[in-house]
Amino acid sequence: MKRYAVILAAGQGTRMKSKLYKVLHPILGRPMIQYVIEALAPSKIEKLVTIVGHGAEEVSKVVGSKSEFVIQEEQLGTAHAVIQAKETLSKEEGTTIVVCGDTPLITDATYEQLFDYHEKTGSKATVLTTKIDNPLGYGRVIRNESGNVSRIVEHKDANEEELSVNEINTGTYCFDNQALFEALEKVDNDNAQGEYYLPDVIEILKKENEKISAYLMPDQEESIGINDRVALAEAEVIMKRRINKMHLRNGVTITDIDHTYIGPDVEIESDVTIYPGTIIKGNSSIKSDAVIGPNSEITNCRIGNASVIRQSVVSDSKIGNQVNVGPFANIRPETEVGNDVKVGNFVELKKTSLGDHTKVSHLTYLGDAEVGENVNIGCGSITVNYDGVKKHVTKIESNAFIGCNTNLLAPVTIKEGAYVAAGSTINKDVPKESLAIARARQENKEGYVNRIIKKN
């Protein structure tokens, strides 16, 4: 049977109290609507339609070509939202899943089970439900004497007895596509919120003696609907544990799973060790035997085999094998570090390449620098890369030695094997294998202290 999907994402998300549209709020760095789209992917959806309203442009930019978009001009309720997909979907035959853009924890396995159950039972509608301890705010699933679902009542419309029901509507349903669009025409807005409720379709079809089912999912954690930042924080905790456990099962050591934050797109090989306070985000990949943390932030980076990153920030960069970074290094975007390199404490690198076996051990800034292999950069060295208007490049060729407290005024090149004396300010290229000294000569004034200072 062909499968279609509608994602509801037009609401403002008032309860988030945010400039950012609800479905774009990130969980471990990924906008929540993207989790929904990824989780639907294995179900082989023929056509996916996202209903957008508030922030339509931003939402469609984030989702991209994975979905078609239909605008709901006014947010008159979830049934009204689905009707907007009529032109795109109503002629199709098959199963249509409707999901909310604000339930990002439902897994691909659950979606697949829901589809299977719906198709196997030959139902016209199947609602995904779960039992939760605190059903506050959710629609309640009302079953008849024989235990079959008869309708869903919203929290605001429920009487005392209905409020005591702890089986909730997750906001996810499979429908026979034709039956869905026919029933939607019959939904009214005669309720506490004056909205057209999608769950009313269940009662409408039931009254028409159609087969209605409920698929009760055992894991209540998946059902969280993100209506406010309390739920967002809960979802972050659940997703964090889920991702961390996946890496633990893959052979990664994480010493404190509650204080390690790994984004959903991060790849980590086995035998990597991650210490607490570490955040690994974006499209990062960490090779085997690397040690990350404690307290490090890695964004969009490739970290090579057996490299160690301690108490440091590394962004949009590539780090080779057996590299030692930190403590307290800041590696900024477009940096490329070779193998067996040391980037020590209080070193900042920006748009800089370091060749194999090079050492930058302490208190140094290298920006827009091309550094060769086996170079030693002394403590307190600075590439003076900015003249107030433009950035310039510093080249330090292989086997060069830069003494401590050196200013390299870019553009400038230190040729192969050259030495720069400590305390120099270099503004001319240094030829191959020569020594450059560029500092004032020392003068010793003998007897000065007794003659001048102590006399006064």
Residue closer to ligand UD1 (CB basis): 168 or 212: 168
Q: Which residue has the tokens 């000294």?
A: 437
Q: Residue 137 in 3-state DSSP?
A: coil
Q: Which of 31, 101, 378, 403 binds ligand UD1 (CB under 6 A)?
A: 101
The interface partner of residue 21, options being ligand UD1, Ca ion, none and the CB cut-off 5 to 8 Å by kind, is none
Residue closer to ligand UD1 (CB basis): 107 or 361: 107
Residue closer to ligand UD1 (CB basis): 47 or 392: 47
Residue 214 is a binding residue for ligand UD1 (CB under 6 A) = no
Of 308, 304, 283, residue with least CA distance to 296: 308
Residue 40 is a binding residue for ligand UD1 (CB under 6 A) = no
* Segment interacting with ligand UD1, rule: CB under 6 A, options 59-67, 96-104, 434-442, 448-456: 96-104
What positions carry a catalytic annotation? 362
Residue 154 is a binding residue for Ca ion (CB under 5 A) = no
Residue 67 is a binding residue for ligand UD1 (CB under 6 A) = no
Residue 126 CA to chain centroid, in angstroms?
32
Q: In the window 355-374, what residues touch ligand UD1 (CB under 6 A)?
A: none
CB neighbour list of residue 387: distance below 8 Å, 6 or more residues apart: none
Residue 152 is a binding residue for ligand UD1 (CB under 6 A) = yes
Residue 10 is a binding residue for ligand UD1 (CB under 6 A) = yes
The interface partner of residue 55, options being ligand UD1, Ca ion, none and the CB cut-off 5 to 8 Å by kind, is none
Where are the extended beta strands (E) located within 368-421? 369-371, 376-377, 382-384, 394-396, 401-402, 407-409, 412-414, 419-420
User: CA gyration radius for the chain?
Assistant: 31
The amino acid occupying position 193 is Q
Residue 197 is a binding residue for ligand UD1 (CB under 6 A) = yes
Calculated CA dihedral for residues 392, 395, 400, 405, nearest 10 degrees: 10
d(CA 448, CA 363): 34
> Is residue 110 within 8 Å of 128, Cβ to Cβ?
yes
Residue 198 is a binding residue for ligand UD1 (CB under 6 A) = yes
The interface partner of residue 72, options being Ca ion, ligand UD1, none and the CB cut-off 5 to 8 Å by kind, is ligand UD1
Q: Which of 168, 187, 306, 360 binds ligand UD1 (CB under 6 A)?
A: 168
Least separation in angstroms between residue 6's CB and ligand UD1 is: 10
Give the number of C-alpha atoms closer than 13 A to the C-alpha of residue 175, restricted to the C-beta side: 29
Residue 11 is a binding residue for ligand UD1 (CB under 6 A) = yes
Q: In the window 281-340, what residues touch ligand UD1 (CB under 6 A)?
A: none
Residue 225 is a binding residue for Ca ion (CB under 5 A) = yes
- Residue 230: Cβ-neighbour burial (10 angstroms; 0-12, 13-18, 19+): exposed
The amino acid occupying position 442 is Q
Which H or E element spans position 212?
A: strand 212-216
Terminal Cα distance for the chain, rounded: 102
Q: Which of 51, 56, 254, 268 binds ligand UD1 (CB under 6 A)?
A: 51
Least separation in angstroms between residue 10's CB and ligand UD1 is: 3
d(CA 60, CA 70): 10
CB neighbour list of residue 145: distance below 8 Å, 6 or more residues apart: none
Least separation in angstroms between residue 260's CB and ligand UD1 is: 29
Binding footprint of Ca ion on the chain (CB under 5 A):
102, 225, 227
Binding footprint of ligand UD1 on the chain (CB under 6 A):
8-11, 51, 72, 75-78, 80-81, 100-103, 138-139, 152, 154, 168-171, 197-199, 225, 227
